[in-house]
Amino acid sequence: MLLDTINIEKVRRAIVYFGVMLLVLLVQNTVLSHIAVLGVHALIAPIAVVAVGFFEGGLWGGVFGLFLGMFSDMNLNDAPVLLTVVFPIIGFLSGSLVVLFVNKRFFSFFFVCLAALVLTAVCQMFRFIAIANANLLPVLATAGLQTLWSLPFTFAIYYPCRRLSGVDLSK
Amino acid sequence: MNKFKDYMKKNGIRLGIVVVVVTLFYGFTVNQSNGDAGVVEDAATAITIPVKQGSAGLVGWLEGIYGYMFKYDSLAKENEELKIKLAETEDRLRDAEDAENENERLRELLDLREKHEDFIFESANIIDRPSSNWSVTYTLSKGGESGIEVGDCVIDSEYNLVGQVTEVGTGWATVRSVIDADMRVGALVGEGGNAAMIVGDFSLMQKGETKLTYLTQETQVLEEDVLITSGKGGAFPKGLEIGTVSSVATEAGGQVEYATVTPSSNLGALSEVFVIKDFNVVD
């Protein structure tokens, strides 16, 4: 009786995306933390949030972004709750964009990811410019390099997430 | 003369045989007294050596075949036992190396305790270095259950400042590094011990350095000056080594002087640190 009230398909998808979240955190913490190009590490979490929003809709993207943002904040030790706030917005907006403006092809995904990475970097650098009064050039350089190094991971995340969601673009 | 010819015709062969036998006997026995081989023996041996070598090789090959056919199982077993013994020996060697490293660290800690009896230490390992581009922090292996609190000072085994605890959980704690852009530490500069302030700077943080600022008019800062904590404010004990002045410069306006400081602690290579849980505050 109780089982009838549970949407098994949704539970299955939730478990799958929980696994995706763990994988993203694992790669971010164990692999990318050891790879720095010009002293800057890539940040792949926003790309994963965009992917979930893209293929599962804004609600799923927002919830996925909320949890991934929380774990990312815990791990990165930057400004408190910054990513917990930014990632759900990215997830929800990317889902809404697919509904309203863009298709689910790779190039659309790529440009939405670019926008998400720029938004994340701008939010991360905001306190250094507005509050700490840091030198603008190194802050901008770090934000730019972080965005640039993260972009290649759109390839690595787009295709597995599309397959997981079962989206068939040939129709 | 004819008698000699007749004698030789009649007994020549017998005489020849006798001469050959005597010669052979002489050849075998001569030089035996000093251990050298005789000429004949030497020649005979030289002829037989290739045969002996050939037969020895053949015997060895046949023994190998025999061993492969009939001793393979025992050899494989012996090989397996040797592998196990080797693995055990390597394991013991690793344990010994770990024990040696731990011994070294404990010696340093003991030395540190003797120098500062008022300090209450808690040793912890650095278990994570987050990959953020916007801060430099470390995650420690111990937290609230070990008495670590937010604001505790963290040093290395050589009494150099590493950072300050900013967050504490059960079994973990986060340490903000001394080079982090948000770090603030009161410092004493130069021989006069003039007060100044370490204030983290974003661009210097990326180079693994930090900034000394709020220098008073009478404070003279020179390269290679060593900075120590002032102890004012009670967050850090007085006298911890922060770093060395690597360069002195003037802010963009040309009015304010500041110094770039290289931390004394080798932050990139740290694996174990010591949290100062309590100390005597000097007013």
Q: To 10 degrees, the CA torsion angle through B218, B222, B225, B227?
A: 40
Please give the domain boundaries of chain A with CATH numbers for all domains.
Answer: 3-165 (1.10.1760.20)
Q: Measured between beta carbons, which residues in chain B are less than 8 angstroms from residue A37?
A: none
* 3 state SS for B104-142: HHHHHHHHHHHHCCCCEEEEEEEEECCCCCCCCEEEECC
Q: Measured between beta carbons, which residues in chain A are less than 8 angstroms from residue B129?
A: 33
Q: What distance in Å separates the CA atoms of residue B183 and residue B214, rounded to the nearest whole number? A: 14
Query: By CA distance, what is B137's nearest residue in A?
Result: A77
Question: Which burial class, exposed, middle or buried, applies to B51 when counting CB atoms under 10 A from its CB (0-12, 13-18, 19+)?
Answer: exposed
Residue B193 structure tokens: 């011990």
Determine, yes or no, domain membership for B155. yes
Q: Measured between beta carbons, which residues in chain A are less than 8 angstroms from residue B166?
A: 77
B270 and B132 in one domain? yes
Determine, yes or no, domain membership for B59. no
Report the pLDDT value the prediction gives residue A135, as an integer from 0 to 100.
80
**B181·A75 Cβ contact <8 A:** no
Q: What are phi and psi of A69, to 5 degrees?
A: -65, -40
Q: Which of B80, B113, B146 is the last residue of a domain?
A: B113
B133 and B96 in one domain? no
- CA atoms lying within 13 Å on the CB side of residue B266: 6
Is A142 an interface residue toward B (CB < 8 Å)? yes
Among candidates A47, A117, A123, which has minimal Cα distance to A78? Answer: A123
B158 and B107 in one domain? no
B263 and B128 in one domain? yes
Q: What is the 8-class DSSP label of residue B264?
A: S
Q: What distance in Å separates the CA atoms of residue B253 and residue B246, rounded to the nearest whole number? A: 21
Q: What are phi and psi of B212, to 5 degrees?
A: -105, 120
Residue B239 structure tokens: 């006298």
Name which of B126, B129, B133, B150 to mutate to probe chain A: the one with the most chain A Cβ atoms within 10 A of its Cβ. B133
- The total domain count for chain B is 2
Per-residue pLDDT of chain B (283 residues; tens, 9 = 90+): 677 788 877 887 888 888 877 776 665 555 555 555 556 556 656 666 776 677 777 877 887 777 777 778 888 888 999 999 999 999 999 888 888 877 776 666 666 666 666 788 888 888 888 878 888 888 888 888 888 888 889 998 888 899 999 888 888 889 999 999 888 888 888 777 788 888 888 888 888 889 888 877 777 788 888 888 888 877 888 888 889 998 888 877 766 778 899 998 888 888 889 898 887 755 5
Report the pLDDT value the prediction gives residue B35, as an integer from 0 to 100.
52
B208 and B100 in one domain? no
Determine, yes or no, domain membership for B14. no
**A33·B202 Cβ contact <8 A:** no
pLDDT in tens, A115-157: 999 999 999 988 888 776 778 888 899 999 999 999 999 988 9
Q: Which of B113, B139, B169 is the last residue of a domain?
A: B113
CB B133 within 8 A of CB A142: yes
Determine, yes or no, domain membership for B156. yes
Residues of the domain holding B84: 71-113
Q: What distance in Å separates the CA atoms of residue B121 and residue B165, rounded to the nearest whole number? A: 14
B225 and B184 in one domain? yes
Q: What distance in Å separates the CA atoms of residue B92 and residue B94, rounded to the nearest whole number? A: 5
Give the CATH number of the domain where residue B183 resides.
2.40.10.350
B171 and B78 in one domain? no
**A132·B202 Cβ contact <8 A:** yes
Q: Measured between beta carbons, which residues in chain A are less than 8 angstroms from residue B268?
A: none
B106 and B196 in one domain? no
Determine, yes or no, domain membership for B166. yes
Q: Which of B113, B139, B163 is the last residue of a domain?
A: B113
B104 and B187 in one domain? no
Between chain A and chain B, the number of residue pairs with CB atoms below 8 A apart is 62
B98 and B124 in one domain? no
Determine, yes or no, domain membership for B22. no
**B202·A134 Cβ contact <8 A:** yes
B140 and B158 in one domain? yes
Please determine, for the modelled complex, whether the ipTM score is greater than 0.85: no
Residues of chain A below pLDDT 50: none
**Closest residue to B131, CB basis, from A32, A79, A135:** A32
B152 and B271 in one domain? yes
Determine, yes or no, domain membership for B8. no
Determine, yes or no, domain membership for B9. no
Report the pLDDT value the prediction gives residue A122, as an integer from 0 to 100.
92
**Strand B194-199 versus strand B241-250 pairing type:** unpaired
Chain B nearest CA to A97, separation (Å): 29
